[in-house]
Amino acid sequence: MKRICILVSGKARGTNMAAVIGACQRGDIPDSEVVLVVGTREDAPALQRARELGVPTCVVDPKAFSDDESYGEALLKVLREAKPDLICLAGYIRLLPANVVRAYPYRILNIHPALLPLFGGKGMYGLRVHEAVIESGMKVTGCTVHFVDEQYDTGPIVLQSVVEVRDDDTPETLAARLLPVEHATYIRAIRLFVEGRLKVKGRRVTISGEI
């Protein structure tokens, strides 16, 4: 049984988190279990949602520490106790401390609501991403699942899915139409990881077998 931890932050609603938990519970992600959800603040709706779904939660507040390294050490303590095979970011909008990234090389996944390397980087999350896409005149957008490295949104790409940008789209309508695509793409990427079908070579991730 593969053990998965999910990290959330801020006031994340937890839609991607709930999709992953549900997929594990249904067996859509085989032989896997979300064993812990870690938040950065106690009032995150995602944590309450995780509890309702029967998943243990805890809080590691970065504001309680003097620097990112100290926060990372506290986060590592929690993660080591949970013994994850995979860590998934879901609405975690901070830059993950470098000491955490180095402790779990190519074992941390994130989903971003755009087609990286476009519309990524610090501050590019939520509706800001969709606003930027619409303002750019792009005809398509999508989501990207990637391995996490020590920078924002720059790790090797695992999967991408595309949706149309319509002429009458607002950031809100585009986000709503993309959300179920995000869920499906994240679940697919996690399943590929769990099945041992991902291989990283340089900047590229290759997938064995049929997707």
DSSP-derived letter for residue 113 is S
Q: What angle do CA 81, 87, 93 make, to 5 degrees?
A: 115
Residues in the chain: 211
Q: Which two tokens stand for residue 31?
A: 């032989």
CA-based nearest residue to 170, from 143, 114, 130, 200: 130
Sheet containing 57-59, strands listed edge to edge, beginning at the edge strand earlier in sequence: 57-59, 32-39, 2-7, 86-89, 108-112, 140-147, 157-164, 204-207, 198-201
Name, in order, each residue with C-beta under 8 angstroms of 136's C-beta and a sequence gap of 6 or more: 119
Catalytic site residues?
112
Residue 20 and residue 90: Cα distance in Å, rounded?
9
